[in-house]
Amino acid sequence: MKVEGLDEGEALVAWMPLSFAGSSGTSIRGAFSLSPGKIRRKATKEWLRAADACGFPAPTGDLVIGLSSDTRLHVWRPQFWVARPGRHAGWFPCSRIAQVGVARHGTALRLTFLIDDGTLLGFESLKARRLRSFAAQIEGALER
């Protein structure tokens, strides 16, 4: 698959559409409030602040993360409707990731990165098997 943002000779090894950790819970809480959009925007803003503080390129609360052959995590805005890599937002070196964790959290499965500066970045998906496989590929890249 040809995607924007990869360097010459760099290949996309794996990719996954994800949302920030807690987005499903935030959406459920918002459904029972008078201002669901405001609740989601507030939670997204806090999550984006944490991502920005450690240099992780996060264009929105919904994104596509891909692992490249150069052991970099690339981040894209999802394409409308198909949740595939769209506009490239930037990349993050796997060497800055100290640890990768996967755990069930309610109906979603959560992928967490411990960044070398102590920041925790969490993402979630409802696709458990695919997320576990994606996390294993990232862990493999960390070992290189």
Whether 1 is in a domain gets the answer no
Q: Could you read off the pLDDT tens digit of each residue along the chain, which spans 144 residues?
A: 678 999 999 999 999 999 887 654 444 444 455 556 666 677 778 888 889 999 999 888 789 999 999 889 999 999 888 788 999 999 999 999 999 999 987 778 899 999 999 999 999 998 889 999 999 999 999 987
Whether 56 is in a domain gets the answer yes
Confidence (pTM): 0.83
Instruction: Look at residue 28 in the predicted model and tell me its pLDDT.
Output: 46
Whether 4 is in a domain gets the answer no
Instruction: Look at residue 44 in the predicted model and tell me its pLDDT.
Output: 77
Instruction: Look at residue 34 in the predicted model and tell me its pLDDT.
Output: 52
Whether 59 is in a domain gets the answer yes
What's the CATH number where 138 sits? 2.30.29.30
Expressed as residue numbers, the domain containing 117 is 12-143
109 in helix, strand or coil?
strand
The residues, ordered by sequence, that sit 6+ positions from 93 with a Cβ below 8 Å of its Cβ are: 71, 72, 73
Q: What is the CA radius of gyration of the chain?
A: 15
**What single-letter DSSP state applies at residue 6?**
P
Distance (Å) of CA 17 to CA 35, 78, 108: 26, 7, 13
Q: Look at the chain and report how many structural domains it folds into.
A: 1
